[in-house]
Structure 1
Amino acid sequence: MVIGSIIIMLGLSPLMVLNTDLVVASVPPEKTGTASSLSEMSSDSADHFYHNVERVHALSHA
């Protein structure tokens, strides 16, 4: 399971970088900080959700 998670993260990391670049490039220069922080927050929220799903899965199979 750990190896699978590592492979998934290595595959998704470049996509996450491209997504952040797209978000930041699509707003006016004075709003890039806000766009960057919003993109980071949504990424962190998705990461926390993924880890909570893993915990629930592990507990249900214990």
Structure 2
Amino acid sequence: MDLIGFEQRRRSGEEQRSLLEALPEILAQGASATTGLPSRAIGVEIPDLPDVGRR
């Protein structure tokens, strides 16, 4: 999400909309459309949990 980028553009006068007005569009773009951020998949590993354990 490019919330910071949008806010910087708004403060410099490039954007006339408020953050709330632009939020649906910003959320629809997602992080992959953000300039400068590589699109990547983050691997998640779940540890093996013992069947019976002490609490």
Q: Which has the higher contact order (CA 8 A, sep 6+)?
A: 2
Radius of gyration: which is bigger? 2
Same fold (TM over 0.5): no
Q: Which has the higher helix share?
A: 1
TM-score, normalisation: structure 2: 0.28
TM-score, normalisation: structure 1: 0.27
